[in-house]
Structure 1
Amino acid sequence: MTVKKTLAALAVSALLPVTALASDGAERLTRMLEPLQTYEANFAQRILDGSGERLQEASGQMWLSRPGKFRWEVAAPYQQVVVSDGADVYLYDPDLEQVTVQALDHRVTHTPALLLSGSVGDLTDSYAVSRRQQGSAETFTLVPKAADTLFEELEMTFRGERLSVLMMTDSTGQRTAIEFRDVQMNAFIDDSRFAFEIPEGTDVIRDTH
């Protein structure tokens, strides 16, 4: 799994007591996400294999706006831009001078960015949700109800009711972890942020699948 496919961050420390609260997980997650209309943050991403060995790191900035709009800009170690205008997704690689265009898959189990920019109802319908409290952190574990998904498990950790870490684990045990910093919630984001103009001379690949 690569930065191009996902975008995620670190594991929460196990030093503090953990209280499992499975019964109210979906209800609590819904209450925290429903007021969210826009979300802006810097991010640091790490990809770890099943043994915990670091495979890849990346950093950049992201913007989200409901419904279905998002923009991820990877700044290091190489540049890449992923933009959704709510209908199509553009994956731009400036080094290759190539952009891939595909229709937005509105299933939250296939498009991780929709965890925040999609419908909260779709999220809780698609995943079994449990919750645990660890000090000041609330972590929600989401297990897909369907078999055809990109991930076996997702964890969303909130501090002060702001999403600070998103962790995704696939069937091989590989984990993609994104830590969010300098978070701004419900600030104005101009719609032009979610429009992508294909640079002149760029090869365009249209994915119809």
Structure 2
Amino acid sequence: MSVKKTLTALALTLVMPAAALASEGADRLTSLLEPLETLEARFEQLILDGSGERLQQANGQMWLSRPGKFRWEVAAPYQQEVISDGSEVYLYDPDLEQVTVQALDQRVTHTPALLLSGSARELTESYEVTRHQEGGGESFRLVPRSPDTLFEELQMTFRGEQLAALQMIDSTGQETVIEFSDVRTNHAIDDRRFAFQIPEGADVIRDTH
């Protein structure tokens, strides 16, 4: 991805210490995320292998209410739901009639599907953050400080101070790109949206790790 920078910005980058750049990026990302109380959006998700070949494409809708509540619905090509009620996370696969349940702990909230529902300050403390200006938008590169994550790099892109995309790369080089549209923020979302009733007859797997 080519990034255009003005000569002034380039000069500032060259003379500014790395620690100052990291602090500036974390502070700016926090200022964008802290006011976020609720978010609703449609999404398009693309998964690429390490060589750039497309493995999967999906679309759906998501809702979140901070802290800790989240609903992620993949509508096509295969239906799947991830729901957090603030204490537990449910992964429901209707085709398999299977529900996986795990506690909402620090490790789980650092997975891509639930990153945004946590604390902005905890996010910037858990990742090394660098900021890049991109025309009318800006992006943030986050590298985990701990090896206990599902990905090695995360990029968050904002346009007009609104989240526009997430890009994640795991240890195998597999890349997940999620682009958001029809974004609404800080409006009332019924708490029932984040409640999950396990379907009768579904297999339930409880992950205690």
TM-score under structure 2 length normalisation: 0.89
| Cα shift readout 1:28-85 (whole Å, capped 9, x = no counterpart) | 0000000000010000000011121111111000001111110011000011111000
| Cα shift readout 1:12-39 (whole Å, capped 9, x = no counterpart) | x52x514576341000000000000001
Query: Higher helix proportion, which one?
Result: 2
- Residue 143 of structure 1: how far off its partner (Å): 0.6
| Aligned ranges 1:145-164 → 2 under 5 Å | 145-164=145-164
Q: Distance in 1 between matches of 2:53 and 2:153?
A: 19
User: Aligned partner of 1:39: which letter?
Assistant: L
| Aligned ranges 1:1-209 → 2 under 5 Å | 14=2, 17-18=4-5, 22-23=21-22, 24-107=24-107, 110-209=110-209
Q: Distance in 1 between matches of 2:38 and 2:121?
A: 17
Where 2:106 maps in the other structure, the secondary structure is coil
CA RMSD of aligned residues (A): 1.6
- 2:18 is aligned to none
Q: Distance in 2 between matches of 1:146 and 1:28?
A: 22
- Residue 108 of structure 1: how far off its partner (Å): 6.7
Where 2:52 maps in the other structure, the secondary structure is coil
Where 1:32 maps in the other structure, the secondary structure is helix
Q: May I ask how many residue pairs the two structures share in their alignment?
A: 196
User: Aligned partner of 1:42: which letter?
Assistant: R
Q: Distance in 2 between matches of 1:192 and 1:111?
A: 23
- Residue 106 of structure 1: how far off its partner (Å): 2.3
Q: Distance in 1 between matches of 2:120 and 2:185?
A: 16
Q: Distance in 2 between matches of 1:72 and 1:108?
A: 14
User: Aligned partner of 1:17: which letter?
Assistant: K
- Percentage of matched positions with identical amino acids: 71
User: Aligned partner of 2:72: which letter?
Assistant: W
- Answer yes or no: is the 8 Å Cα contact 1:100–1:204 preserved in 2: yes
- Answer yes or no: is the 8 Å Cα contact 2:107–2:149 preserved in 1: no
Which structure has the larger Rg?
2
User: Aligned partner of 2:168: which letter?
Assistant: M
Q: Distance in 1 between matches of 2:34 and 2:136?
A: 21
Where 1:30 maps in the other structure, the secondary structure is helix
Q: Distance in 1 between matches of 2:134 and 2:196?
A: 40
Q: Distance in 2 between matches of 1:106 and 1:190?
A: 25
| Cα shift readout 1:79-124 (whole Å, capped 9, x = no counterpart) | 1111000111111111111111111132477322342110111101
- Answer yes or no: is the 8 Å Cα contact 1:70–1:83 preserved in 2: yes
Any stretches of 5+ residues in structure 1 without a counterpart?
1-12
TM-score under structure 1 length normalisation: 0.89
